[in-house]
Amino acid sequence: MIKILGGVARGFPLATPQVNSTRPTSVMIRRKLFDWRQNLEGFCFIDLFSGSGAMGFEALSRGADKVHLNESNRLAFKTMKQNQEKILKSFNFAKEALEVSQFDAKAWLQKELKYSFVETKDVILYIDPPYELHNLYFEVIELLKNLQFEGEVWVESDRLKGPNREALIGLFCSVIKVIDQGDHFVVIGKLS
């Protein structure tokens, strides 16, 4: 069980998937990211590998206009869907402000991002696949470049298991911020 850290749903408990293929973003990383970007009004927030949905629910709690959570793992998706239902029932969020899907991340980008988010300047896209899947990081970012994604990209990795910091930084046209917490880090930047 984890909790939303701030905004209107602060303290709201979220269930976490009982599967080994997902891992929640640490509380300290979430705190540092959302202390840096506290108000998300005017932004759409997309989490491609959402697990329980904690990052997206945090963004919704902090005023994001629209949140889209995608998780390909069936059991994790089920947990995320339960969290979605509970948070919509407990707070006065518009149902259309919170969408969930269960697709392969690259397939979602090619279908949904391309057609549902024609304008991407005000979109924050969070990328946090299993750290060991190095190729997936680079494939997703290459796809975003090909789709001419203009918003902010937040990429979480791990010094021990994930793609290294310099390799990820090198993918960005401009880096806005790097957040460190222990072995974990998030690179925030623009691809174009």
Domain CATH for 167: 3.40.50.150
DSSP 124-185: EEEE---TT-HHHHHHHHHHHHHTT--SEEEEEEETTTS--HHHHHTT-SEEEEEEEETTEE
Rounded mean pLDDT of 8-35? 88
Residue 24: which pLDDT band, with cuts at 50, 70 and 90? confident
- Give the pLDDT of residue 23: 75
Domain total for the chain? 1
Closest residue by Cα to residue 7 from 58, 56, 50 = 58
- pLDDT tens for 100-152 read 999 999 999 999 998 888 889 999 999 999 999 999 999 999 999 999 999 99
pTM metric for this prediction: 0.95
Using CB atoms within 10 Å of the CB of residue 79, give its burial: 0 to 12 exposed, 13 to 18 middle, 19+ buried. Answer: buried
Residue 10: pLDDT over 90: yes
Share of the chain above pLDDT 90, in %: 89
Residue 190: which H helix or E strand, with range?
strand 184-190
Query: By residue range, what is the domain housing residue 165?
Result: 2-190
pLDDT confidence band for 7 (50 / 70 / 90): very high
Contact 181, 29 (CB under 8 A): yes
Q: In the predicted model, what is the mean pLDDT of the chain? A: 94
